[in-house]
Structure 1
Amino acid sequence: MQKHSRRSFVSGMALSGLTAGGLVDIPLLGASSAMAQTGSGRGLLLGVNFAGAEFNAIGGRWHWPKLDNLQYYLGKGFRIFRIPFLWERLQPQLHGELDNDALSGLETILGMLEQAGAIALLDAHNYGRRQGQIIGDPGSPVDIGAFADFWGRMGARYRSRRLVWYNLMNEPHSQDPQTNLMAQNAACRAIRAAGATTKVLFSGIAWTGGHSWISSGNGQVMLGARDPANNYAFDVHQYLDKGFGGSSEIAIPGVGAHILTAVYQWASANGKKIFLGEFGTGPSPASVAELHAMIDFMAAHQDVFIGGTMFAGGGTWGRNPKSADPIDGVDKPQTMLLRQYFNR
């Protein structure tokens, strides 16, 4: 979702982080549950963004999202979780060591997901930037080598985890498309050089929108994505409101059935795979019907679509109707819609 609209969701919220006590009991899905879906055609991999570590600090502190919220989704059978974070929180100095204290919270989450047989999609939620500086821009202190160094270190740290995937960059925008591509190619090479072999997701410019994939030029430029392991897909985002940024809970009437047609045709013609890293709408019956239509389209075209993660869970959203989280213990209809597709 575009930064200006999504961040307004959490203005003034107090974010609660991980609690002590180690791992907790969760319903086991089986160690091979999610892995069995990643190429078998047995169903879309559908889950949620587990949001929190990318949000602005409150009172000088930031937090990983809530473990009880993760338990909620695991108990409902969700099997893939996109985990957003800010690059600079995990690697405070360019080319420096990863911050073990910051990563301890992530590793608690990864342990829970691994126990449940669920995939963790690590998402650098920086919009093609680090602290406002565009990666690889002329004169930028954040060069492509620094970005590759970060992902190489992450790949080395998690290379033994078969259920960890890598989402190189969230929603690059307002930047040179070729530089964006070069940065992500370098990051992917670094992950592979570190010995990690699981799936890598590349993102286009223009907020990596599915509706604008062709008109933005992503359809041409991103054909240059290169993975030495040939185990990659494209991270595409698609909200259903006017403007496609997720700022409204009202879906455009009739949008769901056709909004992904052009990007599907592009991917099918070029032998590419797509993962919908962010999508969402509000809880009204009309909006949920549009979401239903879009996911039906994905389910009917699994030659291209791997799955997707709704925005967003994490336990920090309060009573926001567009989030995936329940309100007062009541499941959201748009969230429960996803369960209809499990193991189809």
Structure 2
Amino acid sequence: MGTTRHLVALLLAAALMPSPVFAAGAPCYRGVNLSGGEYGERGAIYATNYIYPSEQTIRYFAEKGMSIIRLPFRWERLQPALGGRLDEDEFKRIKDTVGLIRKQGMAVLLDPHNFGYYDEAQVGTAPATDAAFADFWARLAVEFANQDGVLFGLMNEPHDIKATDWLDAANAAIRAIRAVGARNLILVPGTAWSGAHSWEEDVIGGANGTVMLGVRDPLDFYAYEVHQYLDVDSSGTHASCEGAAAAVEALAGVTSWLKRNHKRGFLGEFGGSADKDCMSGLTKIYAIMSGNSDVWLGWSYWAAGEWWPADEAFNVQPYKGTERPQMQLLAASAKADAGACTAVKTAGN
């Protein structure tokens, strides 16, 4: 524990030192999750049970300096039958939303927000076999292949699946994506909710930090996606941030792991309320990201979206024209020059 605290101190000290190198090396991707497309069950009615972000919302975050939107959606609605074609109406909604995001100059991270399941079938088990998962990604990837600013997030927060089994599924999807000629950046999560706090712990079927080193990408154009909240149990379900110090330590630990293994990472979800402990923790997280952009490609805050309750603690959707305190921190961090974008162009460019 003492070694970890020392590492945190070193990382924060380096991150907070005023220098031209720090400014030039700010993470490429700074953004938010725009939640809503993942709401409801597979038979949900659009604009009644679930929604994608409006152009007005997308423009707001672009004007605040965000450079990426993580876009959650539900696998079952996009592909109603495993092995079957993508649903035309749902795909058009996603494609149109991607177009709106790109129109505002932001990248978009496609996020099947399924937690490692298709309906009640865990990925890797029938009928949601590795082959079925790979088929889904082949069909989606070919639609967005090599489009500038479109990233592929394999899966949101797989859990209850052994790390070794998840690795097999992830590698199958990566092979399928590359087989259709898509050279887009791929973000690969681990199991156990892809938590930074447990990245090097054997939670189920091996530690992510050991097993997921087995990721194989013919183009070597991928990064690991981790999530980390600041509440007491890292769940993102509490407004208070008793776990802020532990969260900062966890991300410092993953930073060290990335450097040690010559890998890159992306913080796909993190968040906190406007509580002073949360705001302090968020500030330290931004410092770690910005001070280590050699390994961190960026971050996307959880969350915003038109249907989020106004009193939801983590919400950064503007309410009656009022900017949330957390959004002020996000915007301030986004002002730094994103010099690290040179490292994340489409493979082969």
TM range (shorter): 0.7 to 0.9
Where in structure 2 are the equivalents of 1:1-344 lying within 5 Å?
A: 41-57=25-41, 60-61=44-45, 62-67=49-54, 68-137=56-125, 140-216=126-202, 217-252=207-242, 254-255=245-246, 257-319=248-310, 320-342=312-334, 343-344=336-337
Distance 1:59 1:322 in 2: 28
Describe the superposition over 1:160-219 as per-residue Cα deviations: whole angstroms up to 9, x where unpaired.
411110000111111121111111111111111111111101111110000110013000
1:22 is matched with: none
Q: Once the 2 structures are TM-superposed, how far is the Cα of residue 329 of structure 1 from its aligned partner? A: 1.8
- Distance in 2, matches of 1:60 and 1:42, equals 40
TM-score by length of 2: 0.83
Distance 1:43 1:247 in 2: 27
Q: Contact conserved, 2:74 with 2:112, CA < 8 A, in 1? A: yes
- Matches of 2:318 and 2:42, distance apart in 1: 23
Higher helix share: 2
Partners of 1:123 and 1:94 in 2: CA distance: 18
Deviation at 1:254, TM superposition (A): 3.3
User: What is the identity, as a one-letter code, of the residue corresponding to 1:110?
Assistant: V
Q: Which runs of 5+ in 2 are unaligned?
A: 1-23, 338-349
Q: 1:223 & 1:245 partners in 2: Cα distance?
A: 25
Alpha carbons of structure 1 residues 57 and 135: separation in structure 2 relative to 1, 3 Å: closer
Cα distance in structure 1, aligned partners of 2:263 and 2:233:
26
C-alpha displacement of 1:42: 4.2
Mapped partners of 1:321, 1:177: distance in 2: 32
Question: How far apart are the structure 1 equivalents of 2:227 and 2:96?
Answer: 27
- Kept in 2, the 8 Å contact 1:65–1:316? The answer is no
Scaled by the length of structure 1, the TM-score of the pair is 0.84
Q: Write the letter of the residue equivalent to 2:288.
A: F
Report sequence identity in percent.
Answer: 37
Q: Given that residues 51 and 314 in structure 1 are in contact (C-alpha distance below 8 angstroms), is that contact kept between their aligned partners in structure 2?
A: yes
RMSD over aligned Cα atoms: 1.7
Paired positions, count: 303
CA distance in 1 between partners of 2:146 and 2:187 (Å)? 18
Is contact 1:70–1:314 with CA below 8 Å preserved after alignment?
no
| Structure 2 SS opposite 1:83 | strand
Q: Bigger CA drift: 56-65 or 308-317?
A: 56-65
Aligned partner letter, 1:47: G
Does the C-alpha gap of structure 1 residues 244 and 161 become closer, same or farther in structure 2, counting only changes over 3 Å? Answer: same
Structure 1: runs of 5+ lacking an equivalent: 1-39
Contact 2:224–2:265 (Cα < 8 Å) also in 1 = yes
Question: Aligned partners of 2:39 and 2:89: how far apart in 1?
Answer: 18
Structure 1 residues 15-57: Cα deviation after superposition (integer angstroms, max 9, x where no partner) = xxxxxxxxxxxxxxxxxxxxxxxxx834442100111111115
